[in-house]
Amino acid sequence: MTKRPGLSSMLAVYRRELLSYLTTPTAYVFIAVFLFAIGLFTFQVGGFFDARRADLTAFFTFHPWIFMVFLPAIAMRLWAEEARSGALELLLTLPAPTWALVAGKFLAAWTVAAVALLLTIPLWITVNILGSPDNAAIFTAYLASLLLAGAYIAIGSAMSALTQAQIVAFVLAVLISFLLTALGLPLVLDFFSGMIGGGVAEAIARFSLLHHFDAAQRGVVEFRSVFYYVSLIALCLGFTALAVDARRGG
């Protein structure tokens, strides 16, 4: 036994989960469809070339909306599949702290999302060939996008821990992700400010994933946005651990 059994367990779970993404078609299909969708939105809907600007605004704008559907699909199996196959019993009879299992699984799914993001780097190179973009801003936007992805995966992980059916986990996660994202839409905000006043609407917007992503997209790093994403991830993973532990109670 090593000195830090928790860390060792987390790494073991991380490696196994990543291996399982790589040996089943899920991750490849996800990455391929993600790249296709992001390309479609950037060039067709976002008008990347029409804007005649050397930046990636057209690319990053769509991340919340694409992540919202794709990342729950990556996260839905994390716990639901273990419960369905009975392998959860193997995991929960290991002398490992629950947080190590939760964190290992989360990090593996997040890694898949990070790989998908890395594969969009040719686009970054392209804008550098076409013009001279603000590369620091683009780098910041990439980091924000990675944090955003982490938040969606953490939501997906929490929903996956609630059920044995992956599809239920998927639908719940998309629903919650949509609500948390759409809170920041002007349309929704106008609706709320008409009803309950601008101040409250403003407060609601602060809880929106979109709100925090918008600033970062422009290359502005705000501590409170980072804090927001990290807290949301921690909250969802804490919920996941509670839901997993609740199964011991029967």
Q: Is residue 2 involved in binding another protein (CB under 8 A)? A: yes
> How many Cα neighbours within 13 Å face the side chain of 96?
24
Q: Is residue 193 involved in binding another protein (CB under 8 A)? A: no
Cα-based distances in Å from 28 to 66, 115, 186: 16, 10, 35
Q: Which one of residues 18, 58, 68, 96 is an interface residue with another protein (CB under 8 A)?
A: 96
Q: Which one of residues 32, 40, 90, 203 is an interface residue with another protein (CB under 8 A)?
A: 90
SS3 243: helix
Segment lying near another protein (by CB under 8 A), choices 91-99, 171-179, 180-188, 235-243:
91-99
91-94-95-97 Cα dihedral, nearest 10 degrees: 0
Nearer to another protein, 101 or 148 (CB): 101
- SS3 for 149-194, per residue? HHHHHHHHHHHHCCCCCHHHHHHHHHHHHHHHHHCCCHHHHHHHHH
Rounded to whole angstroms, the Cα distance separating 89 from 164 reads: 13
Q: Which one of residues 33, 37, 69, 92 is an interface residue with another protein (CB under 8 A)?
A: 92
Restricting to residues 13-32, which ones interact with another protein according to CB under 8 A? Answer: 13, 15-16, 19-20, 23-24
Q: Is residue 12 involved in binding another protein (CB under 8 A)? A: yes
Q: Which residues make up the interface to another protein (CB under 8 A)? A: 1-2, 4-5, 8-9, 11-13, 15-16, 19-20, 23-24, 85-87, 89-97, 248-250
